[in-house]
Structure 1
Amino acid sequence: MSKSISRDTKLCMSLSGRPGNFGTRFHNFLYDALDLDYVYKAFTTKDLPAAIGGIRALGIRGCAVSMPFKEACIPLLDEIATSAAAIESVNTIVNDDGFLRAYNTDYIAVAKLIEQHRVSSDTVLALRGSGGMAKAVACALRDAGFRQGTIVARNEAAGRKLANMCGYAWAPDTQNVQAHLLINVTPIGMEGGPDAERLAFSSEQVEQAMLVFDVVALPAETPLIKLARSKGKPVITGAEVIALQAVEQFVLYTGVRPDDELIARAAAHAGG
């Protein structure tokens, strides 16, 4: 950043179990380009109530929320927007003079990507995962008219709950699941994780798919995405999701919506 930080500079932040650099680079690039007196910093915590209390007490303007805090933070906030309440998952906190409002821009991003990729709502889907981000993706698909699908989750209680919420089936694993839209919303394939080299779906399932969607953003080219590309399948990457949801967060924090060209430059900078 070229400008200096003063006592009037507004701080925005993120809370994640595994902090990355995308949000920091994306937001700070836009603050600098638009000459906004903001700064953005990524954090993690082992004391979520204290962290949320710090946001409130220190006047931190906004906070992005990632795994594993998307659901756990809800009781600590003052108001939950309709979309976040409906899916019981938060990814954005906005602080207005100590009053903390929660939103879910993941939902908005997924809905836009499905529309942009012209995915037919008649497509049968299989979504692997049952956490906060999985809820955002599943509910966005449900609300876009997707009626046939399976939630794949080892946690039967969470998997069935999400499946029932969206009108889908539940399965404990991918073994007998058949679908043409495959979506990974688990840490499988995440850089530095224990399953970084694993596939969320089998090669045979990818072969049968019409579209493969992996929400993992680090790296964007996960083993699943690489396999899908090698088979000539259209893909949606986590990098696309993270950029779109970050734009919506930026607007909530600043009240400013950058143009498409500037957003593309920010995403390229952040992913570089």
Structure 2
Amino acid sequence: MSAKPPIGPSTRLCMSLAGRPGKFGSRFHNRLYELTGLDYIYKAFTTRDLPAAIGGIRALGIRGCAVSMPFKEAVIPLLDHIEGSAAAIDSVNTIVNDDGWLTGYNTDYSAVLDLLDHAEIAPSTPFLLAGSGGMAKAVSAALRNRGHRAGMVIARNAATGRALAELYGFDWAATADGLTAPLIINATPVGMTGGAEAENLAFPPAAIEAAETVFDVVALPIETPLMRAAEKAGRKRISGADVAVLQALEQFVLYTGVHPSEEQVKDAAVFARSG
């Protein structure tokens, strides 16, 4: 492990913006800074004035910013350029500041794609996807680009749910009641620590029992009600903690240009989850 320099005038700041800031990103990034000896520090924030917050990133030379709900779409008009998948799905979860030029990326998309590939889920697999926000867009794009065609977007908001389903060629339903599929994915805040529905299941028990694979993008807690129910049913699980590690690692590389070792990433992931 290289010695991390003490905080000083040359220390670079990275940050996150979220409606409900968590600890995972801060612990993951700061641990990797320690392990790699980088003169960086990472801090989580929230805001009620998004334009002012983005202006502060630009004016103060903050190197990078992770973006979480509810800012992933609202941040787009405030940036100078949108890259690749972020432009395709109109959702940004990462901002990189190059001398005042702010570029938006979406590392959620690539993380979801990698996890679906690693789980060897066939593109012919039908799915139910709960959600119609920024994360649901990333998941929908990953599914569509893997070749999935038989899918249903589940969203109580008919306007956003129908729009997302139509954008990617899927069906829409207001609820998952009576619906089943081999793959079910939660891309809503249901089950998230501190949320209004922290103890709720994102899918009915019958849908969980009928599934082969259960995927929950909620990272905190690691064991959401949906993940616990999937384990009890003996189903294959993909957790939001897996998404969090992969997308945060890509952010780390974008901010620093450094590719940490596999051992360093594992260490940082364990550290982040233990806090």
TM-score, scaled relative to structure 2:
0.97
Cα-to-partner distance string for 1:30-88 (whole Å, 9 max, x where unaligned): 11111111110000000000000000000000000000000000000000002101100
Is there any run of 5+ residues in structure 2 with no aligned partner, and where? none
Q: Hey, what's the Cα distance between the residues in 1 that align with 2:237 and 2:262?
A: 21
Amino acid in structure 2 at the alignment position of 1:28: N
Choose the corresponding residue for 2:245, options 238, 243, 246. Answer: 243
SS of the equivalent of 1:49 reads helix
Cα pair 2:14 2:64 within 8 Å, conserved: yes
SS of the equivalent of 1:245 reads helix
Q: Hey, what's the Cα distance between the residues in 2 that align with 1:194 and 1:30?
A: 32
SS of the equivalent of 2:97 reads strand
Amino acid in structure 2 at the alignment position of 1:71: E
Cα pair 2:25 2:272 within 8 Å, conserved: yes
**1:209 matched to which residue of 2?**
211
Cα pair 1:24 1:42 within 8 Å, conserved: yes
Is there any run of 5+ residues in structure 1 with no aligned partner, and where? none
Q: Hey, what's the Cα distance between the residues in 1 that align with 2:120 and 2:262?
A: 20
Cα pair 2:63 2:96 within 8 Å, conserved: yes
Q: Hey, what's the Cα distance between the residues in 2 that align with 1:243 and 1:197?
A: 24
Q: Hey, what's the Cα distance between the residues in 2 that align with 1:157 and 1:63?
A: 30
**1:271 matched to which residue of 2?**
273
Please list, as runs of the form range in 1=range in 2, the aligned pairs for 1:98-247 lying within 5 A after superposition: 98-247=100-249
Q: Hey, what's the Cα distance between the residues in 2 that align with 1:208 and 1:40?
A: 42
Choose the corresponding residue for 1:25, options 5, 24, 27. Answer: 27
Amino acid in structure 1 at the alignment position of 2:233: K
Deviation beyond 2 Å, 4+ runs, structure 1: none
Amino acid in structure 2 at the alignment position of 1:220: I
Cα offset, 1:176, TM superposition: 3.0
Question: Identity of paired residues, percent?
Answer: 60
Cα pair 2:109 2:139 within 8 Å, conserved: yes
TM-score, scaled relative to structure 1:
0.98
Cα pair 1:206 1:212 within 8 Å, conserved: yes
Q: Hey, what's the Cα distance between the residues in 2 that align with 1:206 and 1:133?
A: 21
Amino acid in structure 1 at the alignment position of 2:121: V
Cα pair 2:4 2:39 within 8 Å, conserved: no
Cα pair 1:188 1:200 within 8 Å, conserved: yes
Cα pair 1:27 1:40 within 8 Å, conserved: yes
Cα offset, 1:3, TM superposition: 3.8
SS of the equivalent of 2:172 reads strand
Please list, as runs of the form range in 1=range in 2, the aligned pairs for 1:77-96 lying within 5 A after superposition: 77-96=79-98
**1:75 matched to which residue of 2?**
77
Q: Hey, what's the Cα distance between the residues in 2 that align with 1:134 and 1:49?
A: 24
Cα pair 1:13 1:63 within 8 Å, conserved: yes
**1:8 matched to which residue of 2?**
10
Q: CA-atom RMSD, angstroms? A: 1.0
Cα pair 2:208 2:230 within 8 Å, conserved: yes
Amino acid in structure 1 at the alignment position of 2:155: A
Q: Hey, what's the Cα distance between the residues in 2 that align with 1:2 and 1:143?
A: 41
* Alignment length (residue pairs): 272
Cα-to-partner distance string for 1:164-185 (whole Å, 9 max, x where unaligned): 1111000011113221100011
SS of the equivalent of 2:41 reads strand
Cα-to-partner distance string for 1:114-168 (whole Å, 9 max, x where unaligned): 0111011111000000000110011011101111100001111111111011110
Cα pair 2:202 2:226 within 8 Å, conserved: yes
Cα offset, 1:263, TM superposition: 0.6
Q: Hey, what's the Cα distance between the residues in 2 that align with 1:2 and 1:139?
A: 39
Cα pair 1:150 1:177 within 8 Å, conserved: no
Amino acid in structure 1 at the alignment position of 2:22: G
Q: Hey, what's the Cα distance between the residues in 2 that align with 1:81 and 1:238?
A: 24
